[in-house]
Structure 1
Amino acid sequence: MADLFQVTARLRALQRGQAVPIVSQRQVVIQPDARIITLLAMAGEDTSVHAAAIGRFGDAPQIGIVADPRRRDDQYGLLRWMLPMFETCYAECRAAGTFPQLWVSSAGALGHLDTLADRLRFTDEPDIQRLGELWTYAGERSPIDGQQALISASGALRMHFATGQQEAEDEHLGSLLTWIEPTPGRDIFAAVATAEEQPMGVKTDPRFDRRWLQPAIEDFHAAQEQSERSFHHARITQMLEGVLRPIHAATQRAYALLDDPRWRPNPALDALADQEAREFERFMAARDEGHHLPYRDKPKAGAIKIVARERAASNLDAGTLRHDRAARERGVGAGKVLRAAVLKVIERRIRPKLFEYTVELTTAQTGLHLREGDILFALDGPTISLRIDAVQRRGATTWIRATVDKGKRTVKSIPENAILDLGPEAPNWNGLGFELQQMSIRLMNPPWTHGNAMPAAAPAARPMPADLLVAVEGLT
């Protein structure tokens, strides 16, 4: 159903010749002091920085360009030029108790920054290592659901708008912005084709490289006099600025579109911002204590990171279903959220002053993911949790019986035919520490599958059926 929603939105955008909003609430945290970073890499040199533009939203960027990033001294000079900007940004965020947010143009630019962070951490220059460590915070956070440290402008816009082109084409920030803000009276596809002529990633156009950039770099190396070399360096700077500035401006425009007051507040983002601030402080405290950042995690560290990512995904899902209306409706359509009407509430006395409550519900939803024993929580209002006891299909509707675990007093006052939205438990970001502690204990005692000793034989609790196939078929 979520795919059908996207298809419908894209068809509407295609019909109108303009992108359509798919949400009314903001989907990303907008940090007022976020840094917009635009990097260009030379073709074939993915772990280099040929040109860089860095700045706050609304400010003119500071631009640094080297003639040839393959010259180590020049490359390191450019990286050292960038280091104080990030040191200042990170120090300001720590003092304010918040976190740094970096904006890049696309997923390709995001991956480039992450790759650079890995490479720079293992150079032999302490200040270059420091820049790699600072970038590692954003790079390590980028694959985690709900992270707000490293934002791709194209990815953030896609969370708010649907265009009339293929999803992969939305990665080009220029074409995406053209769909969102088309030129009145101009054919949208002609405008998009023009926008796609301008690079929006981390690489320049190969035709531009062959015709202009490569000869200029060759002339730079062939120059004998310093004045002649400076002239060719200025030529290269002018060429790359013509590529760099439009990408930076497009990223600024994306930030401005998402900072617009048209987007309603999203309470789910408050928890994400708080969690990001805690993660940032933990990361920086580890750097202050001198802990080393390895290139590859050991098994225990890797397992703990997997647990953290799984917890982040479940918390994000639970939080958005509670506070994001569009996510709630998609959850209803996909069967992740049960939207049901209350048929009746049955009270049963177990013993003096102790009662059990059973709720009967009905819903017309299709594709529900419900099983006996599942525990669902009310997504609105007071805390109510229900344990599913029975699920039956009755014609065009589904009948459900559930026992109330929490919120018995609240359930008593629910009127008949009241509509309840039920889904996963509320997010618990502080519970991550307990899960990590449990994982650490488990890893201290590896299972028999990871050792040489075989487990002791245990007698079967039940007799083996005479016909195993018949027994299995009897379960369905």
Structure 2
Amino acid sequence: MSTLTALARAQAVATGRAQPIATVRHLHVHDHPMVLVPLAMAGEANAPLAALAGTDPAAPRLLVVTQPRDRDERFRFADHLGRILISYVDSFADLTEDVPVDRGKDVRTRYADAPQLWVPNPGGEDFLRLLGRSTRFRAVDGEHPVPATVPLLGRWLTFLANSAEVPGSSLLLNAVQALGTHWATGQSSAEDAQLGVLLAWIEEGAAAARAVENGPVAGPATDPEFDNRVLAPLIERQAPELPEVLRELMLPTWERMWRVLGLLRRLPAGERVAQRWGGDKDAYTAFARYVAEGGAPQPRRDGAVAAAARLQRLESAAARYAVQRAFDDPLILAEYRLAGAAFAGTVTLAAPDRIDDSGKRPVLRPRIMVRTSETVRVEPGTSLTSPSRPGQKARVVSVSPVAGSGEFDVLLELSGGMGRKLVAEPGSVPAVGERVVLTTLSEEFRRSGALPDVSETPWTHGGPPVFEEPAPARGGPAGLVSTPGGSAGQPDE
């Protein structure tokens, strides 16, 4: 937990209300999302019990498995859920848009929008991941066939679950994590995992949160008391009222999900949210076209090289997401200022037309002096970036304390982001009196490490097996030896 988040939690305890820990929204909230509230049967590995799904807050679709141990009924549930989800994701595969590439010299085409699926909590994401794994390899013919929508559902659920692991992706989101990114409550993280309590802290305060602590759970696990007292007897006698009982159980969570979306929409979106959503549209476009072309299901597990490549992508996405959040949100950037990775100050001197002619050709290298009251923990030679000018680098030339004031003068040399001439474009160099924030964070592209081809890896990591010629036996023909006092052909003992 960061220092400012700990402070926000303490303030939440003191005031009895959740405290904002972000000034902007750091995720994309779709205008037409799909909400899915799943329930699983206790004691059974990912056995679906029910689900509320849909895109209309006033008209949720209820799917129920009246006998979760019945294999055929479970696949009928998957078939019905598949029809709903596939119809939704396919609805975005109509309109396309052109995206400039290679600095505008060329364009590529992608779908103009992408689907967005919401579940109540991380357990809902895990449920979808397991449901996708258990359905995407099912055969549509043979001894135990399933409807064609079942394996297709599994492939889409796997795609969405994998995307949820990518920091900054908004294709599959859970309400608990989305709220926790923007508000801090006066309770523990474990208590925040209950959607009803977390939402009450934000909307009404601690007193309202205590009142809903024992309310309906948001799934996918059900309340053991409800299982024993209500659910088990209904399933045992195959009661016709089971669907209505489950609907009443899940409706409060369904309504809360749409209130969460309303809360998040009230926050202004961060500047770089649209950029990350563009990456989601690219991912959706690639997978939708792969499925349409008859591509194979995702493998059960990644090979060594594929796993390493995926880990690299996730690490890069996490680093990029952290920087983008800080650049979009002054409250998050304040965390880095506390840690010494950033400082704010005022420009006191500026030489926007300074030319460096010490090299083979003259280059534009303006210098500015920034005075700051914050302790500067960067060394000369360090490269800094300003969130207001992310394409520009500021190299620290010197750091000098101002006598008797407790302040520091930081001399910086600028490069990039000023045009290609020897005269800086207007506004590209900070002017005297301008307030600037400088940080060691950078959005600069980082090339991933080179990975070997699968054929170049050892057999322990998926490469080709190694066959070695057996060494010839001692004496005589291969496999035969001569022993003293004996005849050839006797095996050596």
TM-score band (shorter)?
A: 0.7 to 0.9
Give the superposition deviation at 1:157: 1.5
How many angstroms apart in 2 are the aligned matches of 1:54 and 1:371?
Answer: 55
How many angstroms apart in 2 are the aligned matches of 1:416 and 1:381?
Answer: 16
In the alignment, residue 82 of structure 2 is paired with which amino acid? L
Unaligned runs of 5+ in 2: 96-110, 140-145, 419-423, 464-493
How many angstroms apart in 1 are the aligned matches of 2:350 and 2:303?
Answer: 53
How many angstroms apart in 1 are the aligned matches of 2:364 and 2:79?
Answer: 70
> Counterpart in 2 of 1:465?
none
Partner SS state of residue 70, structure 1: coil
How many angstroms apart in 2 are the aligned matches of 1:57 and 1:371?
Answer: 56
Residue 379 of structure 1, aligned match among 361, 380, 387: 387
In the alignment, residue 286 of structure 1 is paired with which amino acid? Y
1:144 maps onto 2:166 in alignment: yes
Give the superposition deviation at 1:57: 4.2
Unaligned runs of 5+ in 1: 221-231, 452-476
Answer with 91-100 or 117-126: which moved more. 117-126
> Counterpart in 1 of 2:476?
none
Aligned residues of 2:340 and 2:375 also touching (Cα < 8 A): yes
How many angstroms apart in 2 are the aligned matches of 1:405 and 1:345?
Answer: 14
> Counterpart in 1 of 2:126?
111
Aligned residues of 1:360 and 1:401 also touching (Cα < 8 A): yes
1:245 maps onto 2:251 in alignment: yes
Task: Look at both structures and tell me which one has the larger radius of gyration over its CA atoms.
Answer: 2
Q: Give the superposed CA RMSD.
A: 3.2
In the alignment, residue 5 of structure 1 is paired with which amino acid? L
Partner SS state of residue 437, structure 2: strand
How many angstroms apart in 1 are the aligned matches of 2:19 and 2:169?
Answer: 25
1:219 maps onto 2:225 in alignment: no
> Counterpart in 2 of 1:296?
301
Give the superposition deviation at 1:422: 2.2
Question: Which has more helix, going by share of residues?
Answer: 1
Alignment of 1:352-363 (within 5 A): 353-354=362-363, 356-363=365-372
1:370-418 residue CA offsets vs partner (Å, 9 max, x unmatched): 3554322222148421233555777844554443332563699544454
Answer with 137-146 or 377-386: which moved more. 377-386
How many angstroms apart in 2 are the aligned matches of 1:25 and 1:270?
Answer: 13
| Identical aligned residues as a percent | 24
1:423 maps onto 2:439 in alignment: yes
Answer with 401-410 or 73-82: which moved more. 401-410
Answer with 380-389 or 116-125: which moved more. 380-389
Aligned residues of 1:118 and 1:136 also touching (Cα < 8 A): yes
> Counterpart in 2 of 1:205?
223
Give the superposition deviation at 1:341: 3.7
> Counterpart in 2 of 1:388?
396
Partner SS state of residue 241, structure 2: helix
In the alignment, residue 386 of structure 2 is paired with which amino acid? A
1:364 maps onto 2:373 in alignment: yes
In the alignment, residue 277 of structure 1 is paired with which amino acid? K
Question: Are the structure 2 counterparts of residues 64 and 8 from structure 1 closer, same or farther at C-alpha, using a change threshold of 3 Å?
Answer: same
Give the superposition deviation at 1:103: 0.6
Residue 135 of structure 2, aligned match among 114, 117, 120: 120
1:237-280 residue CA offsets vs partner (Å, 9 max, x unmatched): 233222222222221221122223xx223221110111100011
Question: Are the structure 2 counterparts of residues 201 and 374 from structure 1 closer, same or farther at C-alpha, using a change threshold of 3 Å?
Answer: farther
With the length of structure 2 as denominator, give the TM-score of the two structures.
0.77
Answer with 292-301 or 240-249: which moved more. 240-249
> Counterpart in 1 of 2:57?
58
How many angstroms apart in 2 are the aligned matches of 1:317 and 1:292?
Answer: 32
1:196-242 residue CA offsets vs partner (Å, 9 max, x unmatched): 3321221211111112212222233xxxxxxxxxxx1x232233222
In the alignment, residue 336 of structure 1 is paired with which amino acid? A
Residue 164 of structure 1, aligned match among 160, 175, 186: 186
Partner SS state of residue 204, structure 1: coil
Give the superposition deviation at 1:38: 0.7
Partner SS state of residue 92, structure 2: helix
In the alignment, residue 420 of structure 1 is paired with which amino acid? V
1:271 maps onto 2:275 in alignment: yes
Partner SS state of residue 94, structure 1: coil
> Counterpart in 1 of 2:450?
439
In the alignment, residue 72 of structure 1 is paired with which amino acid? R
Give the superposition deviation at 1:76: 0.6
Give the superposition deviation at 1:36: 0.3
How many angstroms apart in 2 are the aligned matches of 1:253 and 1:355?
Answer: 53
Partner SS state of residue 13, structure 1: helix
Question: Are the structure 2 counterparts of residues 372 and 132 from structure 1 closer, same or farther at C-alpha, using a change threshold of 3 Å?
Answer: farther
Answer with 411-420 or 274-283: which moved more. 411-420
Aligned residues of 1:378 and 1:423 also touching (Cα < 8 A): yes
Question: Are the structure 2 counterparts of residues 38 and 268 from structure 1 closer, same or farther at C-alpha, using a change threshold of 3 Å?
Answer: same
How many angstroms apart in 2 are the aligned matches of 1:382 and 1:148?
Answer: 24
Aligned residues of 2:382 and 2:395 also touching (Cα < 8 A): yes
Aligned residues of 1:268 and 1:324 also touching (Cα < 8 A): no
Aligned residues of 2:24 and 2:329 also touching (Cα < 8 A): yes
